[in-house]
């Protein structure tokens, strides 16, 4: 089995893999194999109808036993569970007990979403802290794939925000999921707020290569210098987690 299908064996037999944090009949939640932050997990839907769908189309489709909306609502619950796993791990390690601090961490410092061009074939949703403090974060693609529009927030995958999906359910007909109706910007304010995502491989790859590094916390930019970015992210890491507890206690292996 090629690396592109690396998740399939985990989906098929989650009980045999140490990377698995949770599993049931619907999903497997695992630690990312190459984490780009101190906490980086993946939610893997197990349904054979769903697992090989493109991430920008998975929730805009009609399935035999459920709608795209029902799928989205179900996976959303598991995304929230993944966030709970991350928060629980951080709170335990940093000995955080303040409910306000916990809620702020959950709401502002953990993002969930997908890559517009996935690197692996099975559908997977990233749930990741925004520190990007990891020895696995080594090049421009590693960083910009999470900090530009290449990364699509999970909330924007809600099929009710997709024009083509709405046409399908309102007219009860089929639609071309590869058409231009699933690519580029918000509509006028007096119309439904349909969201369109860029699907052009050329545009997306150029976005990764040409976008200057920008800190997700303070918005300071670092041109194209990975060295300067990582030095800054290290300081941000110490400041963020140091304010919550002892940042030196945290390692990627803790989860």
What 3-state DSSP class applies to 230?
helix
The answer as to whether 159 is a domain residue is yes
Report yes or no on 254 lying in a domain. Answer: no
> Phi/psi at 81 (nearest 5 deg)?
-65, -40
Angle between helices 140-147 and 226-244 (to 10 degrees): 60
The verdict on residue 189 lying in a domain is: yes
Q: Is 203 helix (H, G, I), strand (E, B) or coil?
A: helix
In a domain, 255, yes or no: no
Residue 194, domain extent? 3-246
Contacts of 171 (CB under 8 A, 6+ apart): none
Place of tokens 């080594």: 138
CB 34 within 8 A of CB 49: no
pLDDT at 176: 47
The CATH number for 172's domain is 3.30.428.10
Domain count, the chain: 1
Give the three-class secondary structure for 149: coil
Q: Report the C-alpha gap between 36 and 107 in whole angstroms.
A: 19
The whole-number pLDDT of residue 1 equals: 58
Q: Which of 129, 152, 147 is nearest to 215 (CA)?
A: 147
Predicted confidence at residue 252, as pLDDT, reads 86
Check if the beta carbon of residue 91 is closer than 8 Å to that of residue 162.
Answer: no
The H or E element containing residue 153 is strand 151-153
Report pLDDT for 181: 42
Q: What is the C-alpha separation between 60 and 218, in angstroms, rounded?
A: 34
In the chain, count H helices and then E strands.
7, 6
Instruction: Classify residue 251: in a domain, yes or no.
Output: no
- The count of other CB atoms within 10 Å of the CB of residue 92 is 11
Q: Would you say residue 252 lies in a domain? A: no
Distance CA(132)–CA(56), nearest Å, equals: 24
- pLDDT of the residue at 172: 59
With vertex at residue 29, the alpha carbon angle to CA 120 and CA 138, rounded to the nearest 5 degrees, is: 50
Going by C-beta distance under 8 Å and a sequence separation of 6 or more, which residues neighbour residue 18?
none
Neighbours of 145 (CB within 10 A): 20
Give a yes or no: residue 253 inside a domain: no
The pLDDT value given to residue 177 = 47
User: Residue 192 domain-assigned?
Assistant: yes
Find the DSSP H helices in the chain: 8-12, 68-94, 99-108, 140-147, 163-171, 201-210, 226-244
Contacts of 1 (CB under 8 A, 6+ apart): 8, 9
pLDDT by residue for the chain (255 residues), tens only, comes to: 578 889 999 999 999 999 999 999 999 999 999 999 999 999 999 999 999 999 999 999 999 999 999 999 999 999 999 999 999 999 999 999 999 999 999 999 999 999 999 999 999 999 999 999 999 999 999 999 999 999 999 999 999 999 989 888 887 554 444 444 443 444 444 456 899 899 999 999 999 999 999 999 999 999 999 999 999 999 999 999 999 988 888 988 777
The model's pTM is 0.90
């Amino acid at each position: 089995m090629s690396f592109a299908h690396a998740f399939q064996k985990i989906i098929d037999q989650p009980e045999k893999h140490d990377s698995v944090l949770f599993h049931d009949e619907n999903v497997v939640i695992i630690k990312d194999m190459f984490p780009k932050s101190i906490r980086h997990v993946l939610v893997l839907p197990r349904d054979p109808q769903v697992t090989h769908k493109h991430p920008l189309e998975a929730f805009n489709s009609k399935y035999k036993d459920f709608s795209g909306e029902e799928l989205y609502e179900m996976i959303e619950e598991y995304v929230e569970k993944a966030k709970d796993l991350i928060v629980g791990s951080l709170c335990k390690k940093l000995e955080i007990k303040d409910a306000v601090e916990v809620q702020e961490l959950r709401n502002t410092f953990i993002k969930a979403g997908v890559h517009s061009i996935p690197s692996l074939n099975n559908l997977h949703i990233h749930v990741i802290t925004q520190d990007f403090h990891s020895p696995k974060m080594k090049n421009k693609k590693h960083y910009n794939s999470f900090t530009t529009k290449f990364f699509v927030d999970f909330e924007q995958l809600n099929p009710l925000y997709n024009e083509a999906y709405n046409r399908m359910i309102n007219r009860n007909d089929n639609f071309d999921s590869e058409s231009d109706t699933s690519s580029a910007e918000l509509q006028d304010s007096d119309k439904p707020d349909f969201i369109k995502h860029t699907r052009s491989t050329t545009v997306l790859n150029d976005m990764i290569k040409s976008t200057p590094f920008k800190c997700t916390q303070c918005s300071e930019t670092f041109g194209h210098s990975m060295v300067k970015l990582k030095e800054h992210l290290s300081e941000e890491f110490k400041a963020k987690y140091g304010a919550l507890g002892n940042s030196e206690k945290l390692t990627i292996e803790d989860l």
